């Protein structure tokens, strides 16, 4: 079994890697749900004015017909202009790259950003698409039959776990 890093320490490491490298006025867009939690925390932690938006990629996934809708569809909320902006797309776990591809497709429905960077808490490898994180809190190998899952308790503390049933 793969030992997972502490989520809070990994988030701090991710923020350290981003500090000074992210544009002062970058907009953060978190992919529901784990990416949304991380985007909000990063925006509060990093220097600069970082408005936060949230995106649900359910309808943009290329495996929508196979997987169907998740029971908790969320509303995409982008309370800022995407056109010409520097966007930091934030997700909890980067695996195949399909969620990120879907998020980029959806972002372009709102305008053409000047630049998109990708920040992830965990990069677990196993890409099926040529997508690479600009910033990663930790990189680790996880068996294909396992999913890495981020949870948040009532006080906002994040935790990582593995569950059977990989992507």
Per-residue pLDDT at 166: 65
DSSP-H helix ranges across the chain: 7-18, 34-45, 64-67, 98-109
pLDDT digits (tens), the chain, 167 positions: 567 999 999 999 999 999 999 999 999 999 998 999 999 999 999 999 999 999 999 878 665 555 555 557 789 999 999 999 999 999 999 999 999 999 999 999 999 999 999 999 999 999 999 999 999 999 999 999 999 999 999 999 999 999 997 65
Cα–Cα distance, 146 to 159 (Å, whole number): 16
| Residue 33 confidence (pLDDT) | 87
**Cα separation of 8 and 14, whole Å?**
10
pLDDT value at residue 20 = 94
pTM value surpassing 0.85: yes
**DSSP E strand stretches across 23-167:** 27-31, 52-55, 86-94, 115-123, 135-139, 146-152, 158-164
């Amino acid at each position: 079994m793969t030992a997972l890093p502490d989520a809070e320490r990994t988030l701090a490491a991710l923020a350290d890697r981003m500090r000074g490298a992210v544009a002062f006025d970058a907009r953060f867009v978190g992919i529901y749900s784990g990416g949304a939690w991380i985007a909000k925390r990063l925006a509060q932690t990093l220097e600069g004015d970082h408005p936060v938006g949230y995106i649900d990629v359910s309808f943009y996934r290329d495996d929508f017909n196979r997987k169907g809708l998740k029971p908790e569809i969320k509303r995409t909320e982008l309370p800022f202009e995407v056109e010409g902006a520097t966007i930091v797309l934030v997700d909890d776990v980067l695996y195949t790259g399909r969620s990120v591809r879907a998020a980029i497709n959806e972002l372009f429905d709102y305008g053409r950003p000047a630049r998109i960077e990708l920040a992830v808490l965990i990069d677990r490898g196993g890409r099926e698409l040529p997508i690479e994180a600009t910033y990663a809190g930790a990189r680790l190998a996880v068996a294909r039959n396992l999913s890495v899952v981020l949870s948040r308790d009532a006080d906002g503390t994040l935790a990582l776990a593995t569950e059977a049933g990989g992507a």
